[in-house]
Amino acid sequence: MTADVFIREQPDQLATGPKTLALFPGQGSQRPGMAAWITDYPVAEEVFRRADDILGIPLTQLCVDGTAEQLRATDVAQPAIVATSLALSAVRAQRGLPPAAVAGHSLGEFTALAVAGVFDEDTVLQLVRRRGELMAEVSRRYDGAMSAVIGLPAEQVDALCARVTSGVVGVANYNQPTQTVVSGAATAVADLEDLARSAGAAKVVRLKVAGAFHSPLMADIAAEFGAELDRYTLRPPLVPVLSAVTADYVTDPTEIRALLRGQLLAPVRWVETVQRAASDGYDELVELGPGQVLTGFSRRIAPDVSSTAVSTPEEQG
């Protein structure tokens, strides 16, 4: 399934409609029943049928009536979220609502690139499955953790990370001006949590994730995932892709390969990404996927820009 399924009636449609940036969520957004709606939409069913064939697992069944525990496994969660977002994108495009540009949070960057035509559905699903497998492997190798620090400015959290000496810890996600996620060795994350509480953080929440994503602990798999990427052809995007690694646009396939390798270790610069979208004149941010976490972030980062979560076609209008 290629990008013409996700981007239709362009550019005429864009000339008359709002300048929409489609946002795609990352791991953690999965939830039971997140694709229960697909049987009413043949184009969405086709996305999932292909996913089942490509991956050799009952992804459709897992996304329709799988349990939270089944969906939590990294190598299942990643293709499940991507397939759900692609199915929503296909329905939206069929209705004449293509995005003017795309962006994604962590895993969601792969969805964004697929919608933009950098790679097809078969490729993106195989890539994110392998990414999930590698991340699960390294998570079993190291005792890692992630924690959200709420109520402190990001620069203060950065400074607190630098004070930790018990192991590696750093910022993984700049989600909101006062919500920052840290990642690293479990002992170091625990020490950072203590420092954040002492510094006056409103809340410190240990995340229920399998490992220390977007941290140096992922370095072991960067080269192997890079080799996986090199097996596939990447094409220039058909619509602008705003990367959350750099908060800038990416156009060159070679640059995109390097970005996807480095993304495993690099922080997600979501605050800067949404600020860039607002400054570039996007007047509608539409989150396509399970949940509405990115919509909440966007409303706090850019309150003057319309932000909407679309987790079922009924919400698309």
The residues annotated as belonging to the active site are 106, 214
- In degrees, rounded to 5, the angle at the alpha carbon of residue 101 between the alpha carbons of residues 42 and 34 is 40
Beta strands at 169-176 and 203-206: parallel, antiparallel or unpaired:
unpaired
Give the number of other Cβ atoms within 10 Å of residue 23's Cβ: 34
Across the beta sheet with 20-24, the strand order is 248-250, 241-243, 101-104, 20-24, 284-288, 306-310
Q: Where are the alpha helices (DSSP H) in 179-250?
A: 186-198, 219-229
Biggest CA pair distance of the chain:
57
Contacts of 30 (CB under 8 A, 6+ apart): 71, 72, 77, 80, 81, 290
Write the secondary structure of 132-181 as one string of H (helix), E (strand) and C (coil). HHHHHHHHHHCCEEEEEEECCCHHHHHHHHHHCCCCCEEEEEEEECCEEE
Q: In what order do the strands lie in the sheet with 203-206?
A: 169-176, 179-185, 144-150, 203-206
